[in-house]
Chain A
Amino acid sequence: MSKTIMSPAATSPTAAQAGAAPAVARPTLELIGLRKSFGAIEVLRDVSLRVARSEMVFVLGRSGSGKSTMLRCCNRLEEPDAGEILLEGERITGRGVNLDRVRRRIGMVFQNFNLYPHLDARRNVTLALRKVLGQSREEADARAAEALARVGLADRADSYPAQLSGGQQQRVAIARAIALEPAVMLFDEPTSALDPELVGDVLAVMRELKQDGMTMLVVSHEMAFAREAADRVVFMAEGRIVEEGPPEQIFTSPRHESTRAFLSRYSFGQ
């Protein structure tokens, strides 16, 4: 299989950049020329993106535009066919990378929360602390209490997922991810499965994370939130990033035709 083998042309610009411009701040997460196909369908076609430290980047696009696949490639839940991913300057694609070590530095929040239903909120958070970081029960419990407090659920540590509302479950999922103190957080449509009245709590937690300096890459349809909180908005169509810029510019004067079509459809609701 030649999955991870890259053409010299794809790798050399990176090396050149790294050598030529060491003074430029190293991005926390960098995608270079990602490609991914499912069978005959090309889902990602040469996607490159940089997320700077403490930056919140919003990814917009119609469903099927490849944004979730791109996100899932970032921690290699989906294996890109070609391209490179750098985490804090370190290549995490290709052979010989210890994925489990990489993944503990990349937090992920899923559309359907994916909390472990057989564990209470505390143990949802402590599982990886105990098994991955090797913390003692006391250490892990203390860290979990801290993380749950950060998402406003200090008093629900003993609740099982089924006893929590969707919004609370998603906040526990965020606590589970931030407890590992990741370098970057990936959000895959974190509010899409929530009742409208529960969305606000989750967004409030994300806003606080941003204020605390967390680096975040967010796939979401929460336009108002993107406009208010994002540092940068990226628009994807047909497996490519067709436009990116500050939210004001993307929302008020989109340049690409598909961005305009997408935004006009969404502005009905606002």
Chain B
Amino acid sequence: MDQLIQQFFNWDIMMRAWPMLLRGLGMTLLICAAVIPLGLLGGLLAALASTSARPWLRWPGMALVDLFRALPPLVLLIFVYAGLPFAGIRLSPFAAVTVAFFLNNSAYYGEIFRAGLISVGQGQTDAARSTGLTARQTLIHVVLPQATRNVLPDLISNTVEVVKLTSIASVVSMGELLHAADLARSVTYNASPLTMAAGIYLLMLWPVVRLLSRYQRQIAV
């Protein structure tokens, strides 16, 4: 029992690893700050394309969303980071992570936004256009606010997934939270830094998950 505590909950080692993990957490947040807005933007564009009345926009939109939803994100990341150099495209770890996550996130956020856009009835567009609002004004002031509200729980839920998924950036040696913790583990030869990283993820995401399920129960009633 004592040994177990020594291996997983060693306070001294945790204190020593703390600065490293803090830097790792900073990097995780930096990745999130880049890939979440990019993914939301890409997802919105993908959703607009795949719900467009124009076939030349709709088909490529739907095909891309399908492709990047089916591709495992780790495969995508390694391909972008380690595969593309063979085509002469060499990206820094951060750039590779951003590109891979942008493609993956856009597909998932895209599906959510698409459901949101579809959930807003044609009558809303008819009414808005009948007052002389342009297609763009109708989208911005009438359709999007309702679409976003209708799928807000899904957007938040997907964002939690994105934050968790940033841990795969460790395979391209981005010094994010998991990578930092694993490095500390190998230096100290002790699992406590990993325990700590797990705790940090939990502290970050558990309140969001808790609030989300409470909110979902509320709107279900």
Q: Interface residues, chain A, CB within 8 Å of chain B? A: 75, 77, 100-101, 103-104, 106-108, 110, 112, 114-118, 127-128, 131-132, 173, 176-177, 180
Q: How far is the CA of A108 from the CA of B127 in the complex (A)?
A: 8
B129: interface (CB < 8 Å): yes
Which parts of B94-138 form the interface with A (CB within 8 Å)?
121, 123-124, 126-134, 137
- Judging by beta carbons under 8 Å apart, are B127 and A110 in contact? yes
Q: How far is the CA of A132 from the CA of B136 in the complex (A)?
A: 12
Q: How far is the CA of A71 from the CA of B131 in the complex (A)?
A: 15
Q: Flag the segment in B41-49, B140-148, B203-211 that touches A.
A: B140-148
Instruction: Apart from A100-B134, A132-B133, list 8 A-B contacts with CB within 8 A.
Output: A101-B132, A103-B131, A108-B126, A112-B123, A114-B124, A116-B127, A127-B133, A132-B137
CB closest residue in chain B, given A132: B132
| Shortest Cβ gap from A128 to chain B (Å) | 4
Which among A117, A118, A132 is the interface contact of B131 at CB below 8 angstroms? A132
Which among A103, A176, A180 is the interface contact of B129 at CB below 8 angstroms? A103
| Shortest Cβ gap from B143 to chain A (Å) | 10
Which residues does chain A contribute within 8 Å of B128, judged by CB atoms? 116, 127-128
- Judging by beta carbons under 8 Å apart, are A114 and B132 in contact? no
Given that A127-B141, A131-B141 are known contacts, is A114 also in contact with B134, CB under 8 Å in the complex? no
- Judging by beta carbons under 8 Å apart, are A118 and B146 in contact? yes
Interface bits B23-39 vs A (CB < 8 Å: 1, else 0) = 00000000000000000
| Shortest Cβ gap from A269 to chain B (Å) | 28
Given that A108-B130, A180-B131, A180-B132 are known contacts, is A131 also in contact with B137, CB under 8 Å in the complex? yes
- Judging by beta carbons under 8 Å apart, are A127 and B123 in contact? no
Given that A112-B123, A114-B126, A114-B127 are known contacts, is A100 also in contact with B132, CB under 8 Å in the complex? yes
15 contacting pairs across A/B (C-beta < 8 A): A103-B132, A104-B131, A104-B132, A108-B126, A108-B127, A114-B126, A118-B145, A118-B149, A127-B128, A127-B131, A128-B128, A131-B137, A132-B131, A132-B132, A132-B137
Q: How far is the CA of A180 from the CA of B127 in the complex (A)?
A: 13
CB closest residue in chain B, given A131: B137
CB closest residue in chain A, given B127: A114
Q: Which 3 A-B residue pairs are closest in the complex by CB-CB distance?
A: A104-B132, A128-B131, A114-B127
CB closest residue in chain A, given B130: A108
Given that A110-B126, A110-B127 are known contacts, is A128 also in contact with B146, CB under 8 Å in the complex? no
Interface of B: prevailing SS: helix
Which residues does chain B contribute within 8 Å of A115, judged by CB atoms? 127
- Judging by beta carbons under 8 Å apart, are B141 and A110 in contact? no
CB closest residue in chain A, given B126: A77
Which residues does chain A contribute within 8 Å of B127, judged by CB atoms? 108, 110, 114-116, 173, 176
Q: How far is the CA of A57 from the CA of B128 in the complex (A)?
A: 24
Which residues does chain B contribute within 8 Å of A128, judged by CB atoms? 128, 131-133
Q: How far is the CA of A127 from the CA of B128 in the complex (A)?
A: 9
Which parts of B51-79 form the interface with A (CB within 8 Å)?
none
Which residues does chain B contribute within 8 Å of A177, judged by CB atoms? 130-131
| Shortest Cβ gap from A113 to chain B (Å) | 8
Q: How far is the CA of A195 from the CA of B146 in the complex (A)?
A: 26
Q: How far is the CA of A127 from the CA of B142 in the complex (A)?
A: 9
Q: How far is the CA of A217 from the CA of B128 in the complex (A)?
A: 19
| Shortest Cβ gap from B69 to chain A (Å) | 29
Which residues does chain A contribute within 8 Å of B145, judged by CB atoms? 118
Interface bits B144-174 vs A (CB < 8 Å: 1, else 0) = 0110010000000000000000000000000
The residue among A131, A176, A177 with the most chain B CB atoms within 10 A of its own CB is A131
- Judging by beta carbons under 8 Å apart, are A77 and B133 in contact? no
Q: How far is the CA of A177 from the CA of B130 in the complex (A)?
A: 9
Q: How far is the CA of A108 from the CA of B132 in the complex (A)?
A: 11
CB closest residue in chain A, given B123: A114
Q: How far is the CA of A75 from the CA of B129 in the complex (A)?
A: 9
Which residues does chain B contribute within 8 Å of A112, judged by CB atoms? 123
Q: How far is the CA of A177 from the CA of B121 in the complex (A)?
A: 19
Interface bits B179-190 vs A (CB < 8 Å: 1, else 0) = 000000000000
